[in-house]
Amino acid sequence: MERTLSIIKPDGVAKNVIGDVIRRFETKGIKIAAMKMLQLTKTQAQGFYAVHKERPFFNSLTDFMTSGPIVVMVLEGEDVIAENRELMGATNFKDAKEGTIRKDYATDIEKNVVHGSDAPETAAFEIKYFFNDLEIQKR
Ligand code: GDP
């Protein structure tokens, strides 16, 4: 069993697609082990995206991520990091495959509806960033 962090970004929440994103996970047999809705502060967004702090889009990305509420989830399943990335589609929605979340809902390379951890180490960091042990269901 593997875990990953999923975020429905402010644009996804604003577009009323929380339910559709979760339905895609559940349809694939992915379990939701933790979930909450919150609005990030600028400092919290900067901490979450610290790996991108030298990127030209860092300021814009962290502004966007604080612009409204987000839904944060711990997903659980076999190979769930890769499976979630597959369901999400490419970072740039223009390159995303048909039927992926970003292809269906993203409007912009930055406003791309969902986040998903890209490796076991980032998943561990990102899950800890939002959830403590007591908030994650054990099965
Ligand atoms: P991800 O793992 O697919 O989310 O992609 P990255 O880790 O490379 O980038 C993190 C997030 O930064 C992306 O999901 C986008 O929201 C944003 N982003 C990535 N590339 C760009 C870019 O070239 N311009 C802008 N404005 N935002 C970007």
Choose the catalytic residue: 5, 46, 115, 123: 115
Residue in 72, 86, 89 with CA at minimum distance from that of residue 13? 72
Q: pTM (2 decimals)?
A: 0.98
What is the pLDDT confidence band of residue 139, given thresholds at 50, 70 and 90?
confident
Measured in degrees and rounded to the nearest 5, phi and psi for residue 31 equal -95, 145
Q: Is 52 tagged catalytic?
A: no
Listed in sequence order, the DSSP H helices in the chain are: 10-14, 18-27, 42-48, 58-65, 80-88, 101-105, 120-130
Q: Which residues line ligand 1 (CB under 6 A)?
A: 57, 60-61, 91, 109-110, 112, 115, 118
Residue nearest to atom 14 of ligand 1 (CA): 91
Q: Report pLDDT digits (tens) over 84-100.
A: 999 999 999 999 999 99
For residue 58, the CA-to-ligand 1 centroid distance in Å is 9
Residue in 60, 52, 36 with CA at minimum distance from that of residue 131? 36
